[in-house]
């Protein structure tokens, strides 16, 4: 069977397109569906795909893009000359334009052509045509061009018009007596109008996909189902919970989560259709047009309960009635005075009533006091949505880009698409949406974007044959158009999507040559957002997968890396001041964004903290100088790198810590000098040493050290340290301090001393937990550890990473216990990995542990009544956490906690610097004991030679030849032999400067450990094996020290 168009309702002016045989005094109406025989026809029957209704006239659009009209023509609204109306349906001439949508106001008409042109005709009494007619005419009998480019949709109120353009902008014109234009203009009177299109600026950035208009109000729908309304609100038709007219678009909040896919308006009521086929109505209900059964106006959207359980696929509103399609049947409710409900009477219906003889309904249309519907037997039922296909603003997605890249003119087509999308905030915000229902209901918890698809799309564009041109087009479009649309208070959450889409674009990827026109303005716009939108973006960042979060970090970090790679600004150049200011601005804005990202990362552990590090910073900028001035803060508002410590790598942090120590040392020296000068005028005053001097006897180094530290005031601990060994005259230029700490810690940390215990497998040490060790001793060891760091001396600590985590206030985990005690760690991992149902039978554990103190075994509960609580599959994670905490944090009777607290207290008495807080545990550990990042070529490069030796000396060449033939373990032994440690400082091998001086050929190599000084025998000629033998023999004996 072929398609058919049916109608019913008011027909006094021929607006139904059917002829009536009625007496002169009889009301002209049709109360039951009749077929519109004169409607345009095609191969499949009736070719009409859209019907638009004014108060007395009707437009019909065919699938071929033709427009036909019938009804009243008093104001030329039929688009043909002559004032008389006609029940006959005639075509309107558009001179070849193919029309894709039509709309009717009370007495005016609009039509959109497929090339974006907009035509208007009919009454222009309130400027509703959007074009100024010659000689101030108030009527246009023929379609007139409206000067508004790239129009894709239109809607008409009674005397106003609304259009959506390809770039996502909404434009309005006509009567504005109730604010229905949404431009914010306050009308001087109820007859105030605007006769040319004006942009609704408060919607810029919101991805609008549909426009609709009622009598004196307007409604638009976003791509994610958000509804905005403005204009007259006498009956609550705006759905905002009150009866106040609005001159700006307002969000209908209660519909946000309902997945609205279509909106339509009557004279004083509004209807919203959801993806699931639910219908919500609000506004005037005088005649039951809301379908709620109460005839009470509703100021908020309410579901039509009579239709609950059914799937509404189409909805249309007349002046005071509503019609819907449900399961290909038609239902109507509201005013019935002219038969517009099709129920065979003129009675009103306050709830949906089935319209007789309506089946196979695929589309419904209504306007004024009449109704049309299309029948198409055999057509598969469609999803809920518009009555005909609506053209949407441009947006990018992977499928679209693939299609354009495969097109014959792919270069031109894709460039045009990219230019259009990236010139419009609305179009970017409509791009890369997810294909499931998560694209709806955009909130701070849901941005609705498929970031993987966005990345894949941009990668596809970047790998195309015209990648450079595409990148340039996107950059220029963003720079010249899109960035200008960004303001501090976006109108809706959907307007924020571009802030997470643009960093995916390869125009933003490193290197950041375009930072001045792209990255910096973008970052500035982001930073200028008010509190709520800024917080929403931060929520979105928090939800990112690590790969996407890393991408955002890279974008802004690349600006800093690029600027650091640039040569210094030449002060003699003409634009030096401007260039330096531009760079400073770029650095500051990028750092501020990275600061937000870093805070999120610290709280959520998205990516390694090292990702934020600028490894070139310490080499490119004088961060020590920056830090000193930052401490002084002598210039308000000045930029300091030290305000953003998260970009400092371990080397930079160590530099700052050492700089901070030097500052405090100098302050201590200055204070001592001040006191000594003052003492000149005070009889019998004792001089104050500017140094912390420890005089120790090698034979009793621990006793001498601890007894002197006990009597040292805390502020004196921050003086420069000098060590004097009894009976020795060596000046402490650094080497003596190094030897002092080596000797001291070798004894103090020896497990035989009793304060610490060593694991037999890892050889790491931990607090003994012995009740017989005084806490004060641990405090003194903490002080000594702090003194070593404070004075820049590496120490041979065999503590696991857990110590440094605890010093920095971080929680220890099973991995930390595994490092200290691999056997215990593996056992607990096996317990966690076991998933069998016989868990309790296999392990037979309770929440207890056993400890041995002087051959006495104690059973200790890990939790209250732990001996009676079995470890099960459900609580095994709790057991492991409590066990780890007992071993590393508490110990029996909390003794390990007491010992560590005493150690940490001593450590922090010396290490008061705020810089310590920015270290990561591994960095702090490597600063204390060094690392194993060996670069042996650098080791050779920085070596120095004394006496007869030089780089080309035969003995030196023979030495290096033998050295590079050693195994890694043998080289590490040599490093231990030379420096007292087989680890190197954070600064790398360049900080391990070996000095080689000649010794007699018969001698063995001797290392002066405190000064990295090697006495190397002068072995030459073919004596390579002799050199090897002497060297290997020497490195087997790494104990004992010589001082020069």
Known catalytic residues are: 1010
Q: Which residues pair with 299 in a beta bridge?
A: none
Q: Which residues are registered as beta bridge partners of 324?
A: 315, 331
Measured between alpha carbons, how far is residue 556 from residues 521, 584, 969 in Å?
A: 12, 14, 42
Helix axes 775-790, 701-710, angle to 10 degrees: 90
Rounded-to-integer distance, Cα 996 and Cα 1015, Å? 6
**Whole-number Å distance between alpha carbons of 448 and 342:** 42
CB 434 within 8 A of CB 450: yes
CA-wise closest residue to 915 among 709, 698, 706, 660: 660
Cβ atoms 1012, 995 nearer than 8 A: yes
Interacting residues of 822 by C-beta distance below 8 A, sequence separation 6+: 759, 761, 762
C-alpha closest to that of 122 among 87, 93, 159: 159
Q: How many beta carbons lie within 10 A of that of residue 296, not counting itself?
A: 9
Helix, strand and coil in the chain, % to nearest 5: 35, 20, 40
- Give buried/exposed letters for 1011-1033 (b at 16+ CB in 10 A, else e): bbbbbbbbbeeeeeeebbebbee
Q: Which residues are CB-neighbours of 258 under 8 A, at least 6 positions away?
A: 225, 272, 274, 278, 280, 301
What are 119's two structure tokens?
């035509």
Question: Is there a contact between 33 and 357 (Cβ–Cβ < 8 Å)?
Answer: yes
Q: Which three-class secondary structure state does DSSP give residue 557?
A: helix
SS3 534: helix
Tell me phi and psi for residue 906, to 5 degrees.
-65, -45
Report the C-alpha gap between 138 and 140 in whole angstroms: 7
Per the DSSP assignment, residues forming a β-bridge with 334 are 321, 349
Q: What are phi and psi of 252, to 5 degrees?
A: -85, 90
**489, containing H or E segment:** none
**Angstrom distance (rounded) from CA 555 to CA 208:** 29
DSSP per residue, 781-847:
HHHHHHHHHHTT--------HHHHHHHTTPPP-HHHHHHH-HHHHHHHHHHHH---TTHHHHH--BS
What single DSSP character describes residue 354? Answer: E
Element (H, E) at 352: strand 349-354
What is the arrangement of strands in the sheet containing 246-251, beginning at the earlier edge strand? 208-213, 217-222, 227-231, 246-251
Could you tell me the two tokens for 355? 């319209």
State the pairing for strand pair 361-367/118-123.
Answer: unpaired
DSSP state of 768: -
Using CA atoms in the order 712, 714, 720, 725, what is the torsion angle rounded to 10 degrees? Answer: 20
Cα first-last separation, the chain: 111
**Paired tokens of 956:** 């030196």
Q: Which two tokens stand for residue 858?
A: 């104690």
DSSP state of 18: S
Query: How far from chain centre, in Å, is Cα 908?
Result: 37
Assigned token pair, 907: 């450590």
Tokens 């564009």 identify what position? 461
């Amino acid at each position: 069977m072929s398609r058919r168009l049916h109608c019913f309702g008011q027909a006094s002016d021929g607006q139904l397109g059917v002829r009536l045989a009625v007496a002169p005094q009889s009301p002209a109406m049709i109360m039951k569906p009749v077929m519109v025989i004169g409607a345009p026809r095609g191969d499949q029957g009736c070719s009409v795909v859209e019907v638009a209704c004014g108060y007395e006239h009707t437009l019909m659009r065919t699938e071929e893009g033709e427009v036909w009209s019938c009804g009243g023509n008093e104001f030329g609204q039929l688009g043909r000359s002559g004032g008389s109306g006609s029940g006959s349906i005639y075509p309107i001439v558009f001179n070849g334009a193919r029309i894709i949508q039509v709309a009717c106001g009370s007495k005016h008409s609009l039509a959109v052509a497929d090339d974006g042109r907009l035509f208007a005709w009919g009454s222009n009494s309130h400027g509703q045509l959007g074009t100024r007619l010659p000689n101030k005419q108030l009527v246009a009998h023929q379609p007139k061009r409206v000067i508004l480019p790239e129009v894709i949709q239109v809607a008409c109120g009674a005397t106003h018009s609304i259009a959506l353009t390809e770039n996502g902008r909404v434009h309005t014109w006509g009567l504005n007596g109730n604010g229905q234009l949404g431009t914010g203009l306050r009308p001087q009177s109820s007859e105030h109008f605007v006769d040319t299109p004006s942009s609704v600026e408060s919607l810029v950035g919101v991805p609008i996909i549909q426009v609709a208009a009622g009598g004196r109000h307007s409604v638009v729908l976003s791509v994610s189902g958000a509804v905005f309304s403005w204009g007259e609100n006498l009956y609550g038709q705006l759905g905002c919970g009150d009866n106040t007219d609005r001159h700006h678009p307002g969000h209908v909040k209660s519909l946000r989560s309902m997945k609205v896919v279509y909106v339509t308006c009557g004279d004083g009521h509004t209807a919203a259709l959801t993806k699931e086929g639910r219908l919500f109505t609000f506004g005037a209900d005088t005649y039951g047009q809301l379908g709620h059964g109460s005839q009470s106006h509703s100021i908020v959207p309410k579901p039509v309960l009579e239709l609950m359980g059914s799937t509404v696929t189409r909805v249309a509103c007349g002046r005071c009635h509503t019609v819907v399609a449900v399961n290909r049947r038609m239902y109507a409710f509201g005013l019935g005075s002219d038969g517009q409900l099709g129920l065979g009477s003129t009675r009103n219906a306050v709830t949906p009533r089935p319209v007789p003889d309506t089946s196979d309904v695929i589309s419904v249309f209504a306007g004024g006091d009449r109704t049309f519907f299309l029948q198409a037997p055999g057509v598969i039922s469609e999803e809920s949505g518009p009555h005909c296909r609506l053209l949407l603003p441009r947006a990018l997605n992977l499928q679209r880009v693939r299609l354009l890249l495969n097109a014959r003119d792919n270069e031109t087509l894709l460039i045009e698409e990219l230019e259009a999308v990236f010139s419009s905030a609305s179009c970017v915000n409509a791009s890369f949406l997810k294909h499931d229902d998560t694209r709806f209901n955009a909130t701070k918890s849901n941005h609705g974007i498929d970031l993987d698809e966005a990345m894949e799309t941009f990668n596809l564009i970047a790998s195309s044959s015209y990648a450079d041109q595409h990148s340039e087009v996107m950059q220029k479009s963003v720079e010249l158009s899109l960035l200008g649309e960004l303001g501090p208070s976006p109108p809706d959450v959907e307007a924020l999507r571009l802030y997470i889409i643009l960093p995916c674009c390869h125009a933003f990827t490193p290197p950041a040559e375009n930072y001045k026109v792209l990255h910096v303005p973008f970052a500035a716009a982001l930073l200028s957002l008010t509190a709520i939108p800024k917080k929403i973006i931060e929520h979105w960042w928090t939800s990112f997968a690590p790969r996407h979060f890393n991408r955002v970090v890279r974008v802004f970090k690349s600006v800093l890396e690029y600027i650091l790679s640039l040569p210094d600004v030449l002060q003699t150049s003409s634009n030096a001041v401007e260039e330096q200011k531009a760079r400073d601005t770029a650095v500051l804005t990028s750092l501020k964004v990275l600061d937000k990202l870093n805070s999120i990362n610290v709280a959520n552990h998205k990516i390694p903290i090292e990702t934020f590090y600028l490894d070139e910073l310490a080499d490119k900028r004088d961060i020590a100088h920056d830090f000193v001035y930052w401490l002084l803060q002598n210039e308000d508002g000045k930029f300091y790198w030290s305000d953003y410590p998260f970009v400092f790598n371990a080397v930079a942090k160590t530099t700052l810590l050492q700089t901070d120590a030097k500052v405090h040392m100098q302050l201590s020296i200055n204070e001592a000098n001040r006191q000594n000068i003052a003492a000149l005028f005070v009889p019998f005053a004792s001089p104050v040493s500017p140094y912390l001097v420890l005089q120790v006897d090698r034979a009793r180094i621990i006793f001498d050290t601890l007894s002197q530290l006990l009597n040292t005031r805390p502020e004196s601990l921050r003086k420069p340290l000098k060590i004097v060994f009894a009976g020795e005259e060596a000046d402490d230029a650094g080497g003596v301090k190094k030897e002092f700490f080596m000797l001291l810690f070798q004894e103090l940390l020896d497990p035989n001393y009793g304060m610490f215990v060593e694991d037999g497998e890892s050889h790491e040490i931990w607090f003994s937990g012995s009740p017989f060790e005084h806490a004060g001793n641990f405090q003194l060891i903490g002080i000594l550890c702090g003194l070593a760091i404070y004075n820049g001396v590496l120490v041979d600590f065999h503590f696991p990473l857990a110590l440094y985590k605890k010093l920095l206030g971080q929680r220890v985990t099973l991995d930390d216990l595994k490092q200290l005690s691999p056997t215990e760690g593996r056992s607990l991992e096996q317990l966690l990995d076991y998933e069998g149902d016989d868990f309790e039978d296999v392990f037979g554990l309770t929440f207890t542990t056993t400890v041995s103190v002087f051959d006495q075994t104690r059973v200790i509960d890990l939790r209250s009544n732990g001996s009676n609580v079995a470890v099960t599959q459900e609580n095994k994670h709790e057991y492991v956490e409590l066990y780890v905490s007992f071993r590393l944090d508490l110990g029996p009777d909390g003794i390990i906690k007491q010992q560590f607290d005493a150690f940490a207290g001593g450590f922090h008495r010396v290490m008061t610097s705020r810089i310590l807080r920015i270290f990561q545990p591994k960095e702090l550990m490597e600063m204390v004991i060094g690392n194993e990042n060996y670069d042996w070529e650098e080791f050779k490069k920085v070596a120095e030679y004394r006496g007869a030796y030089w780089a080309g000396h035969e003995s030196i060449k023979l030495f290096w030849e033998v050295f590079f033939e050693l195994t890694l373990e043998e080289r590490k032994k040599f490093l231990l032999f030379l420096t007292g440690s087989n680890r190197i400082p954070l600064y790398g091998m360049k900080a391990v400067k070996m000095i080689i001086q000649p010794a007699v050929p018969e001698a063995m190599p001797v290392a002066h450990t405190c000064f990295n000084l090697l006495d190397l025998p002068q072995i030459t000629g073919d004596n390579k094996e002799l050199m090897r033998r002497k060297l290997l023999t020497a490195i087997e004996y790494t104990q004992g020290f010589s001082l020069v």
